[in-house]
Amino acid sequence: MNNHTAVNTFLLWGFSSFPELKNLLFVMILSSHVTILLANVSIMVAIKLSQNLHTPMYFLLFSLSFSETCITMVVIPRMLMDLLSGSKTISLPECATQMFFFCGLASNNCFIMAAMSYDRYTAIHNPLHYHTLMTRKICCQLVMASSVVGFLISLCITIMIFNLSFCDSSNIQHFFCDISPVVHLACDYTSYHEMVIFVLSAFVLVGSFILIMISYVFIVSIVVKMPSAKGRYKAFSTCSSHLTVVCIHYGFACFVYLRPKGSASFGQDMLMAVIYTVLTPLLNPIVYSLRNKEMQIALRKVLESIFKFFSQVTHRKALDI
């Protein structure tokens, strides 16, 4: 890698243009990060401990929550550290590693959402054979395939980008090593590289979105033929949480990665990236917990168990004193 570049470190410029907002941003992002971790971990614990949530739909939701948690760990701790410290430098290997894991996990999320839409289609189309068509083994294979394909695409993008020559500037106009601000610094970035990155990004975003839409076209065609209004409402309600998350996720992701790039767009990209990396992982567990009664019951039981445990510990300590 050193044979191809004259730059060994980058400077994550990030929010340096807004020094007066540094403390406010730190508090807001830190509180959001803690909330994301608590919300996603609560969902994963609720799914793990609640026997009635041991179904394919919740297994895929568990995988999505885990992936979302990992994405925030890749980006937000570094962002918080840069807001606190004066040094915002990041080495070339660290930058490449961050890009690899961020792109891999983001791609993994897209394919898991496509798997979730297939799961909803199977549940509505073949409810009697649902548990034989969506076995634990098939769910694991879908999650593994999502992860393998996502990280392979991320590896191709990362290797191609970090084999370019960086010799003009080392200032990344972003708060993490995202694709667009990094390639903007390359001396030998050509239309060929741009086309390959666009095709791979489109394969992940557009490809998975098409799979989701195909599933929902079939779902709608089945649901509208149902004679019972109650049955139609129940079928649509099982898909509403997933569809809401899909709209939020793909809306921001497509705006950042599939629109034409220009140097003037980095400010907009950074704002969208904050929403994409902070707000979206925060909204996902909220949407699933607010719109799903089974999840609400499971979360309530988990919180009651935690409260009961701490009450017992506090009572024992009081007795010892």
Q: Residue type at 50?
A: S
- Please, what is the Cα angle at 178 between 174 and 179, to 5 degrees? 125
Domain ranges of the chain: 2-314
Residue 294: C-alpha distances to residues 54, 111, 190, 254 (Å): 11, 24, 51, 32
Write down how long the chain is. 321
CATH class of residue range 2-314: mainly alpha
- Please, what is the Cα angle at 252 between 239 and 261, to 5 degrees? 150
Residue 224: C-alpha distances to residues 34, 228, 230, 261, 267 (Å): 42, 10, 12, 41, 44
Residue 216 corresponds to which tokens in the numbers above? 């929902």
Contact 40, 289 (CB under 8 A): no
Q: What does the pLDDT read at residue 153? A: 96
| Each residue's pLDDT expressed in tens, for the chain with a length of 321 residues | 444 446 778 888 777 767 777 788 888 888 888 988 888 888 888 888 888 888 888 899 899 989 989 999 999 888 888 888 767 788 889 999 999 999 999 999 999 999 999 998 998 888 888 888 899 899 999 999 999 999 999 999 999 999 888 876 778 888 888 888 888 888 888 888 889 998 998 899 889 999 999 998 998 888 888 887 777 777 777 777 778 888 888 877 777 777 665 544 566 667 777 777 877 788 777 777 666 777 778 878 877 777 776 677 676 766 666
Q: What does the pLDDT read at residue 304? A: 78
Q: What does the pLDDT read at residue 1? A: 46
